[in-house]
A and B are shown apart, each in its own frame.
Chain A
Amino acid sequence: MAKNDPKNVLEINNLSFRVNSHRILEGITLEMERGEFAGLIGPNGAGKTTLVRAIIGELEEHEGTVRVNGRIGYLPQYSEFSRDFPITVREVAAMGIYRRKGFLRKLTADDHEKINALMKQVGICELSERRVGTLSGGEYQRLMLVRALAAEPDLLILDEPEAGIDEMGKASFYRLVNDLKKSRNMTILLISHDIGMVFDACDRIICLNKTLHCHKEVRSVSAEDLKKIFSTDFDFLIRSKDHFEREHSQ
């Protein structure tokens, strides 16, 4: 059983999930403490998205337990959306408040103030009355971040937030996430294929490839740890290894 430790925001105990006889996740046990910023890495098909779906409660019929102590803010993977949908940036941001407000409750001036403050913090305040379809990829991801933060989350999940953003935008996005982490003491789980960015941004690394290989501080992650999960992706491994050798030499 999970410990139900109040300092843990996330407690996963012996989580397994199969589709027919195909193993997707096996025996995952994982805890994340309040204020932890962890990067979840693994090759394609490692079960990262499935693990996230289990955490946000979308996965039915899994074995084991998943306990989240608090609210979740979720920034989903970037996907194309109907650009001509008549909805403004502010309206999308307000979706994050819905659960806290409750069914059929109207937004108050105070709610709008909170949304304004968040939009200002992530730098999209001047876009608030624009249609969502007019935003660039980077602006849209910032909006998704505002929506997730509007839920006042204890656990913020960022699922490949760099998708759809150019290199400059990525760096600025992660700087923003780091600032938020410092100012709000949130627990953040970042899922990304960009190993360099994950090592730069996160305090801890979670290596997953159907089973949990490691969950440790960035500095303690070895090339062997990565090799275990990225056995076939050689270029990827070298790039990551170079990165943290640079880190260790500093």
Chain B
Amino acid sequence: MTEFIADLLRYEFLRNAFIAALMVSTLTGMFSNVVVLRKVEFIGDGAAHAAFGGIAFALLFGVSYQLTALITAAIFAVSIGYFTKRRKISESSVIGMLLPLSMALGVIMLSFIRGFTPDITGFLFGNILLVTREDIWMLLFMNIGAVAFFTLFFRELQYYAFDERMARHYGVPTRFLHYAVLVGISMSVVASVKIAGVILVTAFLVTPAVTSKLIAGRFRSMVLLSVTFGLVATTMGMVSGYWLDIPPGPTIVLTLFVQFLIVFFAGRLLRRSG
């Protein structure tokens, strides 16, 4: 641990990666609550795969991937909302169609790149070496926005997640919340790409809230616990990844799952003994 802290102070790339990972876990930890309570886990997965299309577009045209990935993920998320609300098609059907579509477009665009083909493994599974200072600034702004959103609309989000129809009946602006959450999920996905990659990002958007839901009695405590679980898993994942010389993104995902198992079985033991 001491060695890890010493290297954190010594190497900027490691510092950037650690700070970015902590901010990613805070951001995804917040939105994971809405994802899990609304049972829209595959939206995060779909948005992540949609972001891949945006990344491929950026690589092909040599532009910033953050913007293109954010746009494609947001288009994906909003399209799900649009098709499911307007034409009564199920969310899983729309995701099932759009997810491979975006991946297919991404692969087609990558095939047009002549000469040096960039290594896309880092985008698929995460690569902390890719994290820059600009990423940290972007994450900071996203976190500020997300904290403000959750603070301002806390009660509204709780009602929207619990019973969207009745929340709308009693005047909660559910349509605004619906699209704001979808955009928030897309932003979380794009922000997490370098840490977790598009394949593993779903774990960040699902596991913390599934774990916290097991023990939280209130929505407020669930949100706080999700963020805490995310931060603890990120710190442990980064340290053990450094210590064992294995990729930190997948290590964080494993740690998140171990947290889930501990809470799940501890709860069962407590119920049996109590």
Contact = CB atoms under 8 A, between A and B. Distances in A.
Given A95-B167, A151-B170, A84 B159 contact: no
Contacts of A72: 169
Contacts of A82: 37, 39, 162
Given A86-B216, A86-B221, A86-B222, A98 B172 contact: yes
A98 B163 contact: no
Contact of B218 (A74, A87, A102): A87
Contacts of B159: 95, 98
Given A76-B166, A87-B162, A92-B162, A98 B217 contact: no
Interface string B141-166: 00000000000110110110111011
Contacts of B158: 87, 91
Contact of A76 (B153, B162, B165, B171): B165
Given A74-B169, A96-B170, A98-B172, A86 B217 contact: yes
B82 interface: no
Contact of B171 (A58, A85, A98): A98
B124 to A, nearest CB: 33
A103 interface: yes
A87 B216 CA distance: 10
Interface string B183-223: 00000000000000000000000000000010011110110
A168 to B, nearest CB: 27
Contacts of A131: 217
A99 interface: yes
Contact of A103 (B173, B216, B217, B222): B173
Contacts of A81: 162-163
B37 A85 contact: yes
Interface in A93-127: 94-96, 98-99, 102-104
Contacts of B153: 104
A95 B37 CA distance: 17
Contact-residue bracket for chain A: 20 to 34
Contacts of B152: 104
A95 B164 CA distance: 11
Interface residues of B, number: 26
Interface in B212-249: 213, 216-219, 221-222
Contacts of A85: 37, 161-162
A103 B165 CA distance: 17
Nearest to B220: A86
Interface in B173-188: 173
Contacts of A99: 170-171
A98 B218 CA distance: 19
**Best-surrounded residue of B159, B173, B216, B221 (most CB of chain A within 10 A):** B159
A96 B170 CA distance: 6
A56 B163 contact: no
Contacts of B171: 98-99, 102-103
B213 A86 contact: yes
B170 A86 contact: no
A88 interface: yes
B150 to A, nearest CB: 13
A43 B46 CA distance: 43
B218 A88 contact: yes
Contacts of B37: 82, 85
A20 to B, nearest CB: 13
A88 B219 CA distance: 9
Nearest to A102: B171
A102 B169 CA distance: 13
A87 B217 CA distance: 7
Contacts of A84: 213
A58 B167 CA distance: 13
Contact of B166 (A86, A88, A95): A95
A56 B159 CA distance: 18
Contacts of A56: 169
Contact of B219 (A58, A87, A95, A102): A87
Contacts of A87: 158, 162, 218-219
A148 to B, nearest CB: 9
Nearest to A131: B217
| 6 closest residue pairs by CB, A with B | A99-B171, A98-B170, A86-B216, A86-B222, A98-B171, A86-B219
Given A72-B169, A85-B162, 14 more contacts: A58-B169, A81-B163, A82-B162, A86-B213, A91-B218, A94-B155, A95-B159, A98-B159, A98-B167, A99-B170, A103-B171, A103-B173, A131-B217, A151-B170
